């Protein structure tokens, strides 16, 4: 696939028949507003909201105000497809900010592409997505070829795992993380002792798996799924006496994991693309505002959504066509 830039996505758009209201540029934020990944979707929404409030207060884009709709794909491919079918008919949309889950993007991208709508994700990490050849897709996060290898390195070199187990979410995201970790760990001189998968939103009792890991003598667990599953696993592992290091990917880097995991989350380590305690001036300003408005610290979902809106502002050089075009 030829490498695309964000500008080329908007060349695709400018050449399409999409129309916009004379004084408004509208986009769609789509992600899980309910379900096990809901906190991530709500962060996407909040990050986009802060960005458009700032941009509109400064005069908008080419004199036009920004506005957005929010759609709940519940983090499931089926619902993501339904959302795409519905909103691809909206000729007032400039672009789609989403999806949060890799499996949702994979399912919905053909529909968005047929409609001529650019899709920019703040959080898709599956390496597969950019191998599918969709010309309307862009993401602002490193994929799992990078992050899962970093996680394996942290597990072995920083946490000292020598007999790890891997438990992974049965989704495009989880399988992508698992495949990379299974490739990387042997290169670090480590053999995976056990591996298991689970279904997000369905499997919530990990006691049998934890008991299995205790019997196998594992000294660490790589949890490759979101914060809900990670928190539940951490709590149950603590209660059942599995005293090992835990490590997870960026989907676990949320305050909810600590709330769900309790004491079990005390030794849970994550690899994440954003530091919610960053003290650099611009980052600190955003963190302060996000904390004030949501009472939680931002993660990759909100910061990347915020950045995406500003990226669009910076790359939208031509006047959007009016409704009469």
Tens digits of residue pLDDT in 40-89? 999 999 999 999 999 999 999 988 999 999 999 999 999 999 999 999 99
- For the chain, the average pLDDT equals 90
CATH number given to 144-270: 3.40.50.2300
Neighbours of 325 (CB within 10 A): 9
Q: What integer is the mean pLDDT of 20-31?
A: 84
Q: Which CATH superfamily is domain 6-141+279-315 in?
A: Response regulator (3.40.50.2300)
Q: Tell me how far apart the 2 most distant CA atoms of the chain are, in Å.
A: 69
Grade residue 14 by pLDDT with cuts at 50, 70 and 90: very low
Question: Is residue 13 very low, low, confident or very high in pLDDT (cuts 50, 70, 90)?
Answer: very low
The DSSP secondary-structure symbol of 83 reads H
pLDDT average, residue stretch 92-118: 96
Q: pTM score, two decimals?
A: 0.86
β-pairing verdict for 24-31 and 93-98: parallel
Q: What one-character DSSP code corresponds to residue 322?
A: P
- What is the reported pLDDT for 321? 35
| 216-222 mean pLDDT | 97
Q: CATH 3.40.50.2300 in the chain, residues?
A: 6-141+279-315, 144-270
- Binned at pLDDT 50, 70 and 90, residue 156 comes out as very high
The answer, yes or no, to whether residue 255 has pLDDT greater than 50, is: yes
Q: Which pLDDT value is given to residue 317?
A: 47
Per the listing, tokens 């789609």 go with: 96
67's tokens:
């506005």
**Is residue 8 predicted with pLDDT exceeding 90?**
no
User: Distance of CA 28 to CAs 31, 201, 284, Å?
Assistant: 10, 25, 27
Q: Where are the beta strands (DSSP E) in the chain?
A: 24-31, 65-72, 93-98, 119-121, 137-139, 164-169, 194-198, 220-224, 245-248, 268-270
């Amino acid at each position: 696939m030829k490498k695309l830039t964000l500008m080329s996505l908007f060349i695709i758009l400018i050449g399409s028949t999409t129309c916009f209201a004379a004084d408004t540029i509208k986009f769609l934020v789509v992600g899980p507003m309910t379900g096990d990944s809901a906190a991530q979707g709500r962060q996407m929404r909040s990050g986009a909201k802060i960005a458009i409030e700032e941009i509109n207060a400064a005069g908008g884009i080419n004199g036009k105000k920004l506005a957005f709709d929010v759609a709940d794909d519940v983090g499931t491919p089926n619902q993501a497809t339904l959302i795409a079918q519905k909103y691809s008919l909206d000729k007032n949309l400039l672009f789609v900010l989403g999806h949060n889950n890799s499996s949702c993007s994979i399912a919905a991208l053909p529909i968005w592409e047929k409609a001529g709508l650019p899709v920019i994700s703040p959080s898709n990490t599956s390496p597969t997505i950019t191998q599918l050849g969709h010309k309307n897709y862009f993401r602002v996060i490193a994929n799992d070829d990078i992050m899962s290898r970093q996680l394996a390195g942290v597990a072995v070199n920083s946490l000292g795992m020598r007999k790890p187990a891997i438990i992974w979410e049965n989704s495009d995201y989880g399988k992508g993380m698992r495949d990379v970790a299974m490739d990387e760990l042997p290169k670090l001189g480590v053999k995976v002792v056990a591996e298991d998968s689970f279904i997000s939103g369905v499997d919530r009792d990990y006691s049998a798996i934890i008991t299995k890991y205790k019997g196998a003598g594992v000294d660490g667990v790589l949890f490759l799924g979101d914060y809900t599953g990670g928190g539940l696993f951490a709590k149950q592992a603590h209660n059942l006496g599995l005293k090992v290091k835990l490590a997870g990917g960026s989907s676990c880097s949320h305050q909810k994991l600590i709330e769900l995991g309790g004491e079990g989350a005390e030794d849970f380590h994550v690899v994440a693309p954003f530091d919610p305690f960053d003290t650099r001036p611009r980052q600190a300003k955003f963190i302060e505002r996000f904390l004030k408005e949501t009472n939680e610290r931002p993660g990759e979902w909100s910061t990347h959504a915020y950045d995406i809106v500003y990226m669009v502002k910076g790359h939208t050089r031509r006047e959007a066509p009016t409704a009469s075009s």
